[in-house]
Amino acid sequence: MIKIFAPATVANVSCAFDILGFALDNVGDEMTFTKKNEKGVTISLPENSNLPTDPLKNVAGVVAIEMLQKANTDFGVHIHIDKRIKPGSGIGSSAASSAGAAYGVNKLLGDKFSQTELVEFAMLGEALASGIPHADNVAPAIFGGFALVRSYSPLEVIKVNTPNELFCTVIHPQIEVKTEKSRKILKKGILLKDAVEQWGNIAGLISGLYTNNYDLIGRSLQDKIVEPVRSILIPLFYEVKQAFMQTGALGGGISGSGPSIFALSQGEQTALKVAEAMKQTYAKTNIEFDIHVSAINPVGVKEI
């Protein structure tokens, strides 16, 4: 039996829509994996959970089933999921369980599969959850730190350097934003000149990460393409952004497809002040919210 922590993740890091994500350190699911003699996968959940225990309807289940089949094992796996990330929050709830399942089952298989293969398996969970087998949450959940999805065919994930004074603040307004809807409202076509501006910022962001240049990271966190469209689904998005910029955050944006909003700061003290500023902004509304302050998780899913 092994027990693991599967981290929440922030994908669509502002300018780096659909290609980059990073893992949080203190927000995530806990999962236990137990070998059993009967083949197949079974799932259990805490009593108050309303997630499906049918393994074909559970993201962890579909990942585990596929891995056991590929490995052609003569044993089965029971997975207990202690879900600590709220579904639909935009901080990789389904990705955590999917990546956690890939990591946990792989441990029971004696580390048979590579990290990139684990991302591929975990993408099956993402496909079940949102209809799209995207990798920008499961990749950082598996690799840790900042993970770049350079290419899908073949899948190539690159672990980018993470400056160690970087902290993340995330506010999760408890409204529902469906990934599907926030994807549908995006324009299919964009202007080349906007794309060029965006790729300047992406190149700046990656440069800033490798050179531990916090100000450059901040200046590069700009998104003229996706944020202006998706932010309309998030109440007070620009007020929150103004608040965290005035409080000294480097920059930020929509976490995943929302409704969560993230900010990156240099140092935990600033990240805590940013949390306070976000809180004050949202306190004006009657929307409930959670706030997390976290270091960047350098290793991704881990045994606990």
**Interacting residues with a copy of itself (CB under 8 A):** 15-20, 148-151, 156, 158, 160-161, 186-193, 195-207, 210-211, 216, 219-220, 225
Of 9, 162, 169, 179, the active-site residue reads 179
One-letter amino acid for residue 189 of the chain: G
Q: Which is nearer to a copy of itself, 6 or 148 (CB)?
A: 148
Q: How far is 284 from 278, CA to CA, in rounded Å?
A: 11
For 71: left if phi > 0, alpha if psi spans -120 to 50, otherwise beta; the answer is: alpha
Q: Which is nearer to a copy of itself, 66 or 223 (CB)?
A: 223
- How far apart are CB 164 and a copy of itself at their closest, in Å? 17
Whether 156 is a known active-site residue: answer no
Structure tokens at 160: 């980018």
Span between the terminal Cα atoms of the chain, in Å? 12
Structure tokens at 208: 């800033």
User: Using the 8-state DSSP alphabet, how is residue 164 labeled?
Assistant: T
- How far apart are CB 230 and a copy of itself at their closest, in Å? 13
Q: Which is nearer to a copy of itself, 25 or 136 (CB)?
A: 136
Q: How far is 75 from 68, CA to CA, in rounded Å?
A: 8
**Is the peptide bond prior to 259 cis by the omega test (within 30 degrees of 0)?**
yes
The single residue listed with the structure tokens 């502002």 is 14
Q: Which is nearer to a copy of itself, 188 or 284 (CB)?
A: 188
Q: What sign does the dihedral 125-304-170-117 (CA atoms) show?
A: negative
Whether 179 is a known active-site residue: answer yes
Residues 6+ apart with CB under 8 A from 210: 160, 161
Of 126, 169, 227, 281, the active-site residue reads 126
- How far apart are CB 183 and a copy of itself at their closest, in Å? 10
- How far apart are CB 198 and a copy of itself at their closest, in Å? 7
The helix (run of H) or strand (run of E) holding residue 184 is: helix 179-184
- How far apart are CB 174 and a copy of itself at their closest, in Å? 29
Q: Are 167 and 271 in contact (CB under 8 A)?
A: yes
- How far apart are CB 81 and a copy of itself at their closest, in Å? 31
Q: Which is nearer to a copy of itself, 12 or 98 (CB)?
A: 12
Radius of gyration of the chain (CA): 19
Q: Which is nearer to a copy of itself, 56 or 191 (CB)?
A: 191
Strand, coil or helix: what is 274?
A: helix
Q: Are 249 and 215 in contact (CB under 8 A)?
A: no
Q: How far is 243 from 236, CA to CA, in rounded Å?
A: 10
User: Using the 8-state DSSP alphabet, how is residue 165 labeled?
Assistant: T
Q: Which residues are catalytic?
A: 126, 179
